[in-house]
Structure 1
């Protein structure tokens, strides 16, 4: 099983193996994303995310000859690799915390060669213990309310991730995404070039037939496109947050 960004060692949760496992409900997991400058954000989060971060699109997964490469939206936390400008002194400074982060240290993942989905935990996280914290299972081996809530949240996250994949497929079907490069000059005078991401192709959007525009309006994608476009204004704001190197 491969480990997605933020996760150290994702393993299926087992009521026998993990019957005595406890989890800290106060320990922060923000150290896991301190070196990540972007993370997945679902379309359901655009309305909140666009107020804090640039929301861009990137190609994901391995490219396969003859097949279109999948696309996913990301919330951008910094313009340099390994730079997260929303963590300061171990605290999150943004108004919105993406669901990808809030689900940690849990996640749904495919097991049995991809045939089934199971609730997994990151057993590399030091917030788990056999002695301290809230239990995941009760004395009868049944899931506690804490675990049930985590499972429900992760299942909802997967539903929204699937909805997001469908939305990105529509954008690609209509050829509405284009590769972009962002160039900025920081206060130090350093030039900053950011590429490898995609944004909405304004020309292609303007030239869409009326029936396609109406379709985008009715399925909510036109509003999502607007939120994405508004969010790009944060790119310049992020650039100004980098301090000159002494």
Structure 2
């Protein structure tokens, strides 16, 4: 099982093995994301995220050997250079919105076998876990506590939204309305920021879609998502100014 960003060691939660486990929720996870310049974003989050961050699309996975189109996924951009998260200052998250990817930590749903079965897992390297401090995950009778039930409900909801996001991105790929883009910016002193490797909506191809397709995209919510994506790109210039101000 490969570990996604933030997670050190993903372990399935077991009511017997981990019956004494507690979790402190007062510990900051900022150090886990301070070097992440982007994070996966579900489509349901676009409306909030577009107010502060650029939302872009990137190719994911391997290109199909049969010549099919490669899958894409939406990312929220947090920095314009590898290892730079511009929304963390002095160890504090400065944005108003925090992506659900971060808020679910230290839990996640993960595949546990080749049959596609999934289970609630946790990062057993996270310092917040112990057998003495914080909220208990299991009661004395072995049943999940209300704290754990709420955590499980959140990550299960996140997983459902992830599947909806994959379906939405698949439709965008099939329509062929995404294009490779490059962003460039500079300050008065001539310092430059160049970013590539991402995709955005191709306005020309979108405008060329037939009326029936446009109506379908409006009714299934994709047209609204594309507009939020388009609006979010205005935040790229704001990030560039933050990056240039750092001079690193």
Same-fold call, TM cutoff 0.5:
yes
User: Could you give the per-residue CA deviations for residues 126-168 of structure 1, whole angstroms, max 9, x where no partner exists?
Assistant: 1111111111111111111111001000000011001101111
**How do residues 48-63 of structure 1 correspond to structure 2 at under 5 angstroms?**
48-63=48-63
Residue pair 2:23, 2:137 contacting (<8 A) in 1 also = yes
Q: Does the residue aligned with 1:193 lie in a helix, a strand or coil?
A: strand
**How do residues 11-26 of structure 1 correspond to structure 2 at under 5 angstroms?**
11-26=11-26
**How do residues 94-105 of structure 1 correspond to structure 2 at under 5 angstroms?**
94-105=95-106
Q: Does the residue aligned with 1:5 lie in a helix, a strand or coil?
A: coil
Which ranges in structure 2 are unaligned for 5 or more consecutive residues? none
Q: 1:196: how far off?
A: 0.8
The residue aligned with 1:44 is 44
The residue aligned with 2:4 is 4
Q: 1:187: how far off?
A: 5.6
Which ranges in structure 1 are unaligned for 5 or more consecutive residues? none
The alignment's TM-score, normalised by the length of structure 1, stands at: 0.97
Q: Does the residue aligned with 2:79 lie in a helix, a strand or coil?
A: coil
Q: Does the residue aligned with 1:241 lie in a helix, a strand or coil?
A: helix
Q: Does the residue aligned with 2:194 lie in a helix, a strand or coil?
A: strand
Residue pair 2:111, 2:118 contacting (<8 A) in 1 also = yes
**How do residues 124-139 of structure 1 correspond to structure 2 at under 5 angstroms?**
124-139=125-140
The residue aligned with 1:179 is 180
CA distance in 1 between partners of 2:124 and 2:196 (Å): 34
CA distance in 1 between partners of 2:177 and 2:135 (Å): 47
CA distance in 1 between partners of 2:41 and 2:189 (Å): 31
CA distance in 2 between partners of 1:33 and 1:62 (Å): 25
Residue pair 2:58, 2:72 contacting (<8 A) in 1 also = yes
The residue aligned with 2:169 is 168
1:115 aligned to 2:122? no
Residue pair 1:21, 1:135 contacting (<8 A) in 2 also = yes
Residue pair 2:79, 2:86 contacting (<8 A) in 1 also = yes
Q: 1:188: how far off?
A: 4.8
Residues 188 and 11 of structure 1: CA distance in aligned 2, closer, same or farther (over 3 Å):
farther
Q: 1:95: how far off?
A: 1.0
User: Could you give the per-residue CA deviations for residues 200-242 of structure 1, whole angstroms, max 9, x where no partner exists?
Assistant: 0111001111111111111111110000000000001001012
Q: 1:21: how far off?
A: 0.8
The residue aligned with 1:30 is 30
Residue pair 1:43, 1:164 contacting (<8 A) in 2 also = yes
Residues 55 and 73 of structure 1: CA distance in aligned 2, closer, same or farther (over 3 Å):
same
Q: Does the residue aligned with 1:184 lie in a helix, a strand or coil?
A: strand
Q: RMSD between aligned alpha carbons?
A: 1.3
The alignment's TM-score, normalised by the length of structure 2, stands at: 0.96
Give the number of equivalent residue pairs. 246
Residue pair 2:60, 2:73 contacting (<8 A) in 1 also = yes
The residue aligned with 1:222 is 223
Q: 1:65: how far off?
A: 1.1
CA distance in 2 between partners of 1:64 and 1:122 (Å): 32
